[in-house]
């Protein structure tokens, strides 16, 4: 599977309560369970007005299908080609 980063504009995302974030998470997990395609939600990063999600799927189309079924906004999808971190520096 390929790895993607998804940008979701959600004004006030940084102010969501733990319960609201849990509800969003439950929606994503329930959609994945019925999607019928290889799919993995890796993690998400919440900023003040956006949520950036890292998901693994076969294609961008499957990412969009998940988002449509969950009624989540999609403002951008990029395939992650390489991951680097401090260990990359040697």
Supply the pLDDT for residue 67.
97
Show pLDDT as tens, one digit a residue, over the chain (90 residues): 999 999 999 999 999 999 999 999 999 999 999 999 999 999 999 999 999 999 999 999 999 999 999 999 999 999 999 999 999 998
The pLDDT score that the predictor gives to residue 57 is 98
Q: Residue 64 has what pLDDT? A: 97
User: Strands, DSSP E only, in the chain?
Assistant: 2-9, 39-46, 50-57, 76-80
List, in order of start, the domains of the chain with CATH numbers: 2-83 (3.30.70.3090)
How confident is the model at residue 9, as a pLDDT? 98
3-state DSSP percent of the chain in helix, strand and coil, to 5: 40, 30, 30
pTM: 0.93
In the prediction, which pLDDT does 23 show? 97
């Amino acid at each position: 599977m390929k790895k993607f980063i998804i940008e979701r504009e959600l004004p006030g995302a940084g102010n969501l309560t733990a319960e609201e974030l849990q509800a969003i998470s439950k929606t994503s997990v329930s959609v994945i369970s019925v999607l019928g395609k290889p799919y993995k939600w890796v993690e998400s990063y919440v900023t003040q007005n956006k949520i950036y999600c890292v998901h693994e799927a076969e294609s961008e189309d499957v990412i969009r299908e998940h988002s449509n079924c969950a009624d989540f906004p999609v403002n951008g999808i990029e395939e992650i080609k390489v991951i680097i971190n401090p260990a990359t520096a040697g």
